[in-house]
């Protein structure tokens, strides 16, 4: 079993254009006063997670703040669409996926994640990671974030009204670094509080692809390929169908 061709194409594109890592993630909001409406936002692709036993079902990882509206939307329905335009290679990837969130273990949604994980079915990427130490993954990803990014999880709830205006915002920490015991008691305690708050709001986002629509405009003729999962003797494979672009 090999990595799917769509994944190899994304990896190749990112190896050339590593900064073109912003995807758009669309979810459904069932609780809007406007009725059921789609919501889309940009997110940074952080990493792949691929099972050595079965590289054909890779997961994509991103991160978010567990307090953001996308979290309740994805808890109501894990179905979402990711669209990723990589301008450097002139390629678009549209990925229908289940998206799961891993918050800190004491958060109420952590038990929800463990429940979803235990029920994940054969043929999904998630089911290959039932034994994974997801908390270790979450903390490891958090540690790779810049001090500036870590500080963003110490702000009040994203999307809530900014009380006190920009003057208030100036009081928020700009950087959150690992607490240094040699920095003096007060500084250490403050750094520790900030670190714990940021890590507490930080959630790992797992994107488990179901279907991938790959448009390649890099050289004529334009090409469009739909990748769908099929189960066969050798397990789950990606079937490729050429589409009119």
Q: Is 150 in the site for ligand FMN (CB under 6 A)?
A: no
Q: Is 69 in the site for ligand FMN (CB under 6 A)?
A: yes
Q: How far is the CB of 160 from ligand FMN (least distance, A)?
A: 10
Q: How far is the CB of 41 from ligand FMN (least distance, A)?
A: 4
Q: Which stretch binds ligand FMN (CB under 6 A): 3-11, 57-65, 78-86, 132-140?
A: 57-65
Note whether 100 and 206 are within 8 A (CB).
yes
Q: Give the contacts of 18 (CB within 8 A, at least 6 positions apart).
A: none
Q: Which stretch binds ligand FMN (CB under 6 A): 56-64, 89-97, 104-112, 216-224?
A: 56-64
* The only residue of 70, 110, 138, 150 in contact with ligand FMN, by rule CB under 6 A: 70
Q: Is 201 in the site for ligand FMN (CB under 6 A)?
A: no
Nearer to ligand FMN, 41 or 187 (CB): 41
Nearer to ligand FMN, 13 or 128 (CB): 13
d(CA 97, CA 79): 6
d(CA 117, CA 144): 25
Q: Is 64 in the site for ligand FMN (CB under 6 A)?
A: yes
Note whether 100 and 32 are within 8 A (CB).
no
d(CA 196, CA 7): 35
Q: Is 49 helix (H, G, I), strand (E, B) or coil?
A: strand
**Contacts (CB under 6 A) with ligand FMN, residues 15-34:** 22
d(CA 11, CA 182): 42
Would you state the structure tokens that stand for residue 164, as one six-digit string? 């006190």
Residue with token string 């991103």? 62
- Residues lying near ligand FMN in the complex (CB under 6 A) are found at 22, 39, 41-44, 62-65, 68-70, 158-159
């Amino acid at each position: 079993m090999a990595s799917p061709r769509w994944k190899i194409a994304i990896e190749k594109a990112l190896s050339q254009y590593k900064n073109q890592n912003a995807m758009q993630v669309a979810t459904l909001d069932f609780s809007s006063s406007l009725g059921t409406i789609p919501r889309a936002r940009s997110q940074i692709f952080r990493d792949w997670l691929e099972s050595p036993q079965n590289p054909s079902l890779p997961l994509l990882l991103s991160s978010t703040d567990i307090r953001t509206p996308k979290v309740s939307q994805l808890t109501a329905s894990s179905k979402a669409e990711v669209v990723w335009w990589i301008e450097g290679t002139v390629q678009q990837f549209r990925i229908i996926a289940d998206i799961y969130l891993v918050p800190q273990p004491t958060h109420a949604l952590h038990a929800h994640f463990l429940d979803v994980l235990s029920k994940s079915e054969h043929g999904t990427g998630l089911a290959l990671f039932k034994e994974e130490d997801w908390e270790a993954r979450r903390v490891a990803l958090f540690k790779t974030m810049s001090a500036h990014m870590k500080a963003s999880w110490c702000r009040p709830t994203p999307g809530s009204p900014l009380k006190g205006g920009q003057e208030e915002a100036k009081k928020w920490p700009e950087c959150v670094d690992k607490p240094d015991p040699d920095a003096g008691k007060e500084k250490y305690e403050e750094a520790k509080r900030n670190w714990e708050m940021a890590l507490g709001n930080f959630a790992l986002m797992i994107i488990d692809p179901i279907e991938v629509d790959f448009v390649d405009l890099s050289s004529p003729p334009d090409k469009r390929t739909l990748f769908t999962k099929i189960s066969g003797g050798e397990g789950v494979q990606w079937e490729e169908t050429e589409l009119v672009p």
